[in-house]
Structure 1
């Protein structure tokens, strides 16, 4: 049996939908996934007991998918089954992202679980190489991408990101630990729909859009029109870190990335073929087509 160690976002629901047998859905407290009912919620302080629950439910394979916030450990909550794991967990919480993920993977593997990658279980998430949008890729973009290689290598070494923005012959933005969408948001003015009265414009727009892209007209006719008209262009490039463990933390783009890239006035998005998952692909392509932007799987 497969169990999803599900985090926030829609990745877990996409993986679950592609399984012939519904997986067991589990989630770290405070990190519930979108569009899924969670069967087991667990605390990191009771990880040992949680592993026992998985074994007792007949779980033999696990898949980590979605975004989680690294938790602080409350010593008073640690149970007896988790006590032997404390040295590993403490080191994981204190270390960088890659080290933390490797530590958690080792705990699950030592407990007898095979770790499967989200792209392995849902291969449709990895688009084939080519241009997915109506807008073609301008000449010279391939040459620009050479600038990204040393940047991504340094980001991987520092364990701080998987993406950058290139404009002309210069890397003008680099992803940090906050993620790709935060990097893009830094480059643009926040879009606030008047009747919203504030709040998170990205989440509002995504909720409003739904499957039929409801609300796209409002989004396109807001301040984004000015931002796109006055921007100097550029390309978002995203790829796995060097020596990326494909079973966890494989790069992903989705609706938020497409909208933030548009708000930042970029010309398009390039992702590494076979190395970046695309969530809600049809909607992502629709957004970019509406904005005259390209999506190139390179």
Structure 2
């Protein structure tokens, strides 16, 4: 088995690589990959050539880890192997994030690669049910978490985000392409609110599973949030010990809810 890690921004690629057996590291041109040496780079316009190269190197499995900005297609940079894929690219670029990722996932699988989720390689990253740290959720936090989960479910067909901020039953903000930390950073008068993060209905677990890390806890503290709530088993927690310490330091409830 030879694994290729299709790496984006953030700490997730390095954590997955640490749990894997010497994967081939593939980075997108111009996107830094923290803590790893990139073996191959590609662009959207050269994806067909990348697929051939992976096959020639004996790769049979791929894993997508880390954030990537949605690229724009530059026809002048298309190579011969990628040109036939343009209709598929155009379809993907017109869809929401999850829809676009499904197109990419389908392309790799139809080419013969097995796509593994990051949690299949590094299962310890999945949120474990229960409370992290010393602060426990009260009824208001539990009720707001229920509201947040319902909002993610309601908005799933629009494919716009995996997180929202809830205060006393009102949804103050919904994640968009800017990401969770940017959403929190744009909040006003959110003291006492909670962040809820979980997967959209029908979301593939093989790619773009919801993720939080220390930066999320810091952003929550800066915004005056009182809790960060995730769905146990459905969200990746990066550097869990650091997240827990930060939550305790800022008197934030950090809770992975189960059974809901």
SS class of match (2:91): helix
Once the 2 structures are TM-superposed, how far is the Cα of residue 66 of structure 1 from its aligned partner? 0.4
Deviations, residues 120-174 of structure 1 (Å, cap 9, x unaligned): 1100111320001111222332222222233112321111111111111222222
SS class of match (2:124): helix
Task: Provide the TM-score with structure 1 as the length reference.
Answer: 0.83
Is 1:274 the counterpart of 2:233 in the alignment? yes
Contact 1:152 1:161 in 2 (8 A): yes
Alpha-carbon distance change, 139 to 42 in structure 1, aligned in 2, over 3 angstroms: same
Contact 1:184 1:264 in 2 (8 A): yes
Bigger radius of gyration: 1
Runs of at least 5 residues in structure 2 that lack an aligned partner in the other structure? none
Contact 1:6 1:32 in 2 (8 A): no
Query: What's the counterpart of residue 15 of structure 2?
Result: 14
Query: What's the counterpart of residue 184 of structure 2?
Result: 184
Is 1:242 the counterpart of 2:201 in the alignment? yes
Is 1:124 the counterpart of 2:83 in the alignment? no
SS class of match (1:140): helix
Is 1:163 the counterpart of 2:163 in the alignment? yes
Contact 1:32 1:38 in 2 (8 A): no
Distance 1:38 1:149 in 2: 37
Once the 2 structures are TM-superposed, how far is the Cα of residue 77 of structure 1 from its aligned partner? 1.1
Alpha-carbon distance change, 231 to 62 in structure 1, aligned in 2, over 3 angstroms: closer
Distance 2:214 2:163 in 1: 16
Deviations, residues 172-222 of structure 1 (Å, cap 9, x unaligned): 22212211111100116xxxxxxxxxxxxxxxxxxxxxxxxxxxxxxxxxx
Query: What's the counterpart of residue 285 of structure 1?
Result: 244
Task: Provide the TM-score with structure 2 as the length reference.
Answer: 0.94
Query: What's the counterpart of residue 69 of structure 2?
Result: 69
In the TM superposition, structure 1's runs of 4+ consecutive aligned residues that sit over 3 Å from their partners are: none
Contact 1:134 1:289 in 2 (8 A): yes
Once the 2 structures are TM-superposed, how far is the Cα of residue 231 of structure 1 from its aligned partner? 6.3
The count of residues paired between Structure 1 and Structure 2 equals 256
Contact 1:162 1:241 in 2 (8 A): yes
Contact 1:155 1:162 in 2 (8 A): no
Alpha-carbon distance change, 86 to 232 in structure 1, aligned in 2, over 3 angstroms: closer
Once the 2 structures are TM-superposed, how far is the Cα of residue 83 of structure 1 from its aligned partner? 1.5
Once the 2 structures are TM-superposed, how far is the Cα of residue 232 of structure 1 from its aligned partner? 3.2
